[in-house]
């Protein structure tokens, strides 16, 4: 639940998101949707208001604090913000959430176990966990990023263009992973420039104007044309 949330680039915003619900955010660049995402993800300052996760106030202000509160942000810029190109696939998958042994040593066995599980569940096409992340296709890189977030068991998943630059097969696999997460009760905020993708995934559409919620689309109102028109309107 977002209550009177003001952030750099928008607000105040009041919005409740149900367990397992996917809410799409629509608005022109700079009108609030991406700024809200990045504020919740700890990348932009929150100026006022509160965020409640399962009734408890979340502590935000940095990506680490957001993750600790159960909020995980998938960036739109996987090369610039999401991946470390000099690291392997396994290292990128475990980045920031290292499995430990003896309480302080990074566990190679734990990293490999997670890698095997993610590779099977997410159908990641790769040679081995030791392969450099940059050698994978865009779709497989994106699945590694999503897998890293899902391993944290978030309560709120923020998806900023989750299928940008991926092929059709990878897009369908990513959609399936999002659907699977909602079946486990994960709430989702989604930004997607593709109206068809938005219509395919969301339960509700929130339309922003000048940093604030202007109106919503529900049920039969969620059409490709309505989403495209909302994106173009001021």
User: Per residue in 67-124, pLDDT tens?
Assistant: 999 999 999 999 999 999 989 999 999 998 898 888 889 898 899 899 999 999 899 9
Question: What's the mean pLDDT in 147-167?
Answer: 95
Q: Does residue 234 register a pLDDT over 70?
A: no
**CA 142 remoteness from chain centre:** 11
Q: Which CATH code fits 2-232?
A: 3.40.50.300
Which band of pLDDT confidence, cut at 50, 70 and 90, is reported for residue 230?
confident
Question: What's the mean pLDDT in 51-55?
Answer: 95
Question: How high is the mean pLDDT of the chain?
Answer: 93
């Amino acid at each position: 639940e977002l209550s009177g949330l003001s952030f750099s680039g928008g607000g105040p915003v009041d919005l409740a998101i149900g367990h397992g619900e996917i809410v799409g955010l629509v608005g022109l660049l700079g009108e609030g949707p991406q700024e809200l995402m990045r504020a919740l993800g700890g990348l932009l300052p929150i100026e006022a208001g509160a965020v409640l996760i399962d009734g408890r106030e979340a502590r935000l202000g940095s990506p680490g604090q957001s993750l600790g509160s159960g909020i995980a942000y998938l960036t739109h810029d996987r090369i610039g913000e999401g991946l470390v190109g000099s690291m392997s696939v396994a290292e990128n998958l475990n980045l920031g959430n290292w499995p430990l042994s003896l309480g302080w040593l990074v566990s190679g066995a734990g990293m490999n176990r997670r890698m095997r599980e993610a590779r099977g569940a997410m159908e990641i096409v790769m040679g081995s966990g030791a392969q450099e992340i940059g050698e994978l296709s865009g779709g497989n890189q994106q699945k590694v990023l999503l897998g890293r977030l899902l391993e944290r068991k978030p309560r709120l998943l923020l998806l900023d263009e989750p299928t940008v630059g991926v092929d059709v097969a990878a897009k369908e696999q990513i959609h399936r992973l999002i659907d699977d997460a909602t079946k486990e009760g994960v709430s989702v905020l989604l930004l997607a420039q593709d109206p068809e993708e938005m219509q395919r995934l969301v339960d509700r559409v929130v339309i922003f104007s000048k940093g604030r919620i202007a109106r919503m689309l529900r049920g039969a109102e969620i059409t490709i044309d309505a989403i495209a028109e909302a994106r173009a309107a001021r």
